[in-house]
Amino acid sequence: MDEAALREQLATLGASLFQRGYSVGTAGNISVRLADGYLMTPTNSCLGRLDPARISKLAPDWSHIGGDKPSKEVFMHRAVLTARPDAGAVVHLHSTYATAIGCLAEAGDTAPIPPLTPYFVMRVGRTLPVIRYYRPGDGAMESDIHEAAKGAKAVLLANHGPVVSGKTLEDAVHAAEELEEAARLALLLRNAGARALTPAQVDDLLATFG
């Protein structure tokens, strides 16, 4: 997909996430890897009303070279995209249920959401490392996220929200949606003694779809 098409897709998927309540106000940001740099949602922009022409462009060295001023979370996106060379996009949301889990889980936990359903395992994987709280935009979060993202498609920022990668922008959006759904189920079934998938069932899913 060329840059113009990716800009259009970013605006379309951002609007879809916003309309379905995955982000509110100006929360959340999205990045896409290009052959010659990165696209990034502008800071203080609403995912529901992105103008494709004004989406920020960053050079391969992450300097701002076009469009509006990029998200304050450039460090967060850089942490994941440099840790995962096969990732083509990163979606960061403050989606309600995943963020709620991020307010309950302890930093350092690697499985704050149990593997209740196959699609959570297939899209997000075996681990979801919880990163300690950092102020939004704090560059100090970069190394923690970078280390955790080497072994995980997604991480959960304590008291903040999920950061989800995918091979393509569509993959990253789908994974972010599955993560939110799994978080919702986990909270719905909290303390209900729900049956999770067994380690063998998780292994089978990852061997088949991973």
Residues involved in catalysis:
73, 119
Q: Which residues contact 19 (CB under 8 A, 6 or more apart)?
A: 48
- Tell me if 136 contacts ligand 13P by CB under 6 A: yes
Q: How many residues bind ligand 13P (CB under 6 A)?
A: 13
Minimum CB–partner distance for residue 157 and ligand 13P (Å): 8
Report the residue number, 14 or 115, with the smaller CB distance to ligand 13P: 14
Instruction: Judge contact between 9 and 41, C-beta under 8 A.
Output: no
User: CB of 23 within 8 A of CB of 95?
Assistant: yes
Residue 72 binds to ligand 13P (criterion: CB under 6 A) = yes
Q: Which among 23-31, 117-125, 140-148, 163-171 is the span making contact with ligand 13P, rule CB under 6 A?
A: 23-31
Of positions 8, 24, 26, 133, contacts ligand 13P by CB under 6 A: 26
Per CB under 6 A, the segment of 27-35, 99-107, 166-174, 184-192 that binds ligand 13P is 27-35
From candidates 16, 43, 96, 110, binder to ligand 13P by CB under 6 A = 43
Compute the distance between CA of residue 168 and CA of residue 182 in angstroms, rounded to an integer. Answer: 21
Three-state DSSP string of 109-176 = CCCCCCCCCHHHHHHHCCCCCEECCCCCCCCCHHHHHHHHHCCCCEEEECCCEEEEEECCHHHHHHHH
In the structure, how many helices (H) and strands (E) does the chain have? 7, 8
* Using rule CB under 6 A, residue 12 touches ligand 13P: no
Contact set with ligand 13P (CB under 6 A)? 26-29, 41, 43-44, 71-73, 92, 94, 136
